[in-house]
Amino acid sequence: MTGGGRDRGDGAGTTSATGPGLLARVAAHADRTPRAVAVRAAAGCLEYGDLVARAGAIAGVLRGRGVVAESPVGICLPRSPELVAALLGVLWAGGTAVPLDPAAARMRLRLQALDAGLVTVLVTAATVECAAFDVPVTMVDAMPATPVALPPPDWPADRAAVVVHSAGVEEEPRPVVVTHGNLAGLVDWLVDGWPTGTFAGVRVDAPLDGHLALCQFLAPLAVGGTALVDGDAVLVDGDAALMDAAGATAVGSTSTAAAPSVRIGLPAPVGEASPVGDTTALLVTGGPVTGPVPSAVTCWSAWGAAETGGPVLAGTHRTDDPWALGAARADTTPYVLDDALRPVATGVVGRLHLGGGAVTRGYHGQPSLTAERYLPDPFAATPGQRMVATDDLVRRDADGVLRWVGRLDDCSRRDGEPAPPVEAQAALRRHPGIADAAVVGSPTGELVAAVVPASGELVAAEVPAPGTAGLRSDLAGLLPARLRPDRVLVLDALPLLPSGKVNRRALLGAAARAERVDRAAQTGRAAQDEPTRQAGRDEQAGRTDRDRPAADGPGRAAQASGAAERAVAEAWTTVLRRRVEADRNFFDAGGDSLLMIRLSGLLRRAFDREVDVVDLFRLPTIRDMAAHLSTPLVAPTPTDPPAPDGLTAAERQAQARQEARRQMGRARGARRGA
C-alpha cells in the first residue's frame, strides 16, 4: 500500500488530485467494458454501459427541472442499482447530491432536507412517504429511459459535489460539503493506494447519508469493480450467499460490527478465482476488530471523518497493535496539537488535526461551526490553507506511528493525566468471560464500562460469565488505578448507532439509571428491614402476633396468571435463571440493580413500550410489574401553536427548520432524563 505520513510543515494542503475524476473514470469503464457489472443486488444488476446511460437520463431530467451548478438535490432511494445511477446523474447534471437514508428517523430526514435547501428530491414509490419535506419530488421510477448526451465531467475542483452528514442519531446532523476536488483525491487514493483487486466487489451497508457509504460506492466504481447492495437491510450473515455469488473482495465495517462481518467469510465461489486470490479484504473504520479474523481475510484499519469526506489514514490491522491508525494519504497531513494549536512532543496525547487536500469545504449553512472546526493551517507552505480539528485524541510514538487514544468528549483526566477509556476497554475484551465491552467517560469524569457476557461460539461454554466484583479484581491486576472503571454494567448487548458504533449516550443513560436504582435499593432495603425492627420494638413492648396487622393471604405464594404476568415472569426467569412466585420481591429472589437493568430491556421488547427501571423498583413483584405494564400509555396533548399564515416560502422553511430542531431537542432531553 502506498502513501505515508509526512512531517509537520512540509507543504500540507498543496497536494491535488492527479488522475481522472470519478465521472471520467466511470465513463471510461463504460467505454472499455460496457457489459461489466457495476452494481449488483439480489433482484438484479446494472452494467457499466447501462449505468452511464441511466445516469445520463436522470441528469437530463434534472437539468430540465432547473438544476444548475451546486443545486442541492436530495436522493431518498433504497439501496439499489437505481441509487448509484441517481448519485452519478446528479453529479453529471452539475448539482450537489444530498443522500438521505430512508431508514433514518423522519425527524432527522426532515432536518437534513430543510438545512440543505433542496430544489428537488429523487424518490421512488417505495420512499415517497419518507420525503414529506415540502420539497418537490422527482419520481425516479417514472423517468424515461432515454439517454441524453452527457457534458464533459470536468467540473472545477472547488465545486460542491456531495453533502454527507456527520454525527449519530442522538445529535443534530452536521451537513459537510464535499467538493469534486475532495472526491478526486479520494478516488486517486482508492485506485493507486491499495493492492490490485481489493475493490473488485465491495459491500455497501453503511448509513446512506454518511461518508462511509460514499466511500463504499466510490471504491468499486473508481476501479471498474462492482458495488454489492441488497435493499435497505444491512448485509450480514444471512446474505452470505449473495456475497459469495458476487465474488465479494471487500467489506467495509465499523469496529463493533466487524466481527459479524468477518464471520461470513466472503470467499470466492467454489471453483472460481477471486480477483485477489483466496483473500478477502475487510476494511474496518473507527477502531480495532473486536472478534476473531479468519486467516483467509486481510484486515485493513482505515480512519476518516465526514469532515475529510472519507478515510485518510489506513494500514494493515495488527492484533498486537490495534490502535495504530496507519499511514496518511499522500494529500493529507496529520498534526497532533495541544489546546494552543502547538505540536506536542512524541508520546504525548494531543488532539488530531488534519490538513491537506482532504479537508472539505465546511458545514453547509453553518458558518460559525465551520469557523470553529476548520482553522487556518499554520504549518502549510502555501498561505490560505486550512486544517480541520477532529474529536479524536492521539499520540505519535517514537516509531512515528499515530495511535488512537480516545474521543475528546470521552476522555477523563485523573491525577492530571488523561484516562483514555480505550485501555480499560481493551483489557475487558481480553477477559475470557466477556464477548464484548465498551468503556466511556461520563461528564463527571467517571469511567463507565459495559460488558456482554460470553456465550456461544465466542468463548467456551464452561467459562462462566464474570461478576462485576471479579472483573474489578481482574482489572486491578491489569490497569493502573486511574484507568479502572468506576461502574460496570452487565448488558445483553451493547447499544449501537445505525453506523454500528457504540451509542455512548445510551451507555451513560444506563449507568445513570443504575445509579438511581442503587439509591432506591438502599432506601428499599431500609424499608424492608423496618418490620424486623418493629418486631423487636413490639417484643420489648409486650405485644404479640395477634396484636399485629394480618400478613398477606394465600395470594402471597401464587404463581403468575394472565398473559401480562406470564410475560413478566418469563423475563424474570431469564435474568434470575429460576422461576419466582408472582408476589415475591425481585431483590429477595436474588436480583440486583444490574439485573434490573437487563430486566427492563427484556420487558421493553416484550411489551413494546418504554420501561423505567425506577418504576420497576417501586413495583418489585411480577404481579405489580404486570399491572403497571398493562396500563396503556397516555399520549401527550399537542401544545405547539399552529403555524402563522401569510409567510413567504423562505420564512416557512426557516420556521420548519426551527421546529424540527426543537423536536430533536425535546427528544434528546427526554432521553437524557429517562
CATH 3.30.300.30 residue ranges of the chain are 411-492
pLDDT score of 468? 61
pLDDT score of 529? 54
pLDDT score of 182? 94
Phi-psi region of 265 (alpha: psi -120 to 50; beta: other; left: phi over 0): left
653 vs 67, higher pLDDT: 67
CATH 1.10.1200.10 residue ranges of the chain are 503-526+559-631+651-674
133 vs 357, higher pLDDT: 357
Task: Check whether 345 has a pLDDT greater than 70.
Answer: yes
Distance CA 662, CA 200 (A): 45
Domain spanning 411-492: CATH 3.30.300.30: yes
Helix, strand, coil proportions of the chain in percent (round to 5)? 40, 20, 40
Distance CA 477, CA 458 (A): 24
CATH 3.40.50.12780 residue ranges of the chain are 22-391
Task: Check whether 374 has a pLDDT greater than 90.
Answer: yes
Task: Check whether 626 has a pLDDT greater than 80.
Answer: yes
Under the banding of pLDDT at 50, 70 and 90, the label for residue 460 is very low
The burial of 112, by beta-carbon neighbours within 10 Å (0-12 exposed, 13-18 middle, 19 or more buried), is given as buried
Q: Which of 522-531, 541-550, 560-569 has the highest mean pLDDT?
A: 560-569
State pLDDT tens for residues 539-551: 555 554 444 444 3
pLDDT score of 528? 53
CATH no. of 503-526+559-631+651-674: 1.10.1200.10
Task: Check whether 92 has a pLDDT greater than 90.
Answer: yes
Task: Check whether 238 has a pLDDT greater than 60.
Answer: no
- Strand 280-285 and strand 297-305: the pairing is parallel
Looking at residue 620, the DSSP 8-state letter turns out to be -
Whose cell is 465461489? That residue is 269
CATH class belonging to 22-391: alpha beta
Task: Check whether 207 has a pLDDT greater than 70.
Answer: yes
State pLDDT tens for residues 93-107: 999 999 999 988 777
Q: In this structure, what are the phi and psi dihedrals at residue 73, rounded to the nearest 5 degrees?
A: -120, 120
